[in-house]
Amino acid sequence: MEDKKKMVLEAMKKANKPVRPGDIAKATGLDSKEVSKIIKELKAEGKVTSPKRCYYAPAE
């Protein structure tokens, strides 16, 4: 699971702007439902923020 979290975070960093889970799913090749679940976990860990509804960015 940790590898997938890394993939999602890297995809967010590469985008250089807040992204939707669907955009991350396309970039990583992961299922969008899985991406949403990973984002939820990363958000709980404080590694991801949501600057506006349904958009996510790394918390750095």
pLDDT single digits (tens) 12-55: 999 999 999 999 999 999 999 999 999 999 999 999 999 999 99
Per-residue pLDDT at 1: 55
- Whether pTM exceeds 0.95: no
- How confident is the prediction for the chain on average, in pLDDT? 95
Distance CA 41, CA 3 (A): 13
Quick: pLDDT tens for 42-51.
999 999 999 9
In one-letter notation, the amino acid at residue 53 is: R
Q: Which domains does the chain have, with CATH numbers?
A: 2-58 (1.10.10.10)
For 3, other C-beta atoms within 10 Å of its C-beta total 7
Closest CA to 43 of 31, 57, 22, 30: 57
**Backbone CA torsion sign across 6, 8, 11, 15:** negative
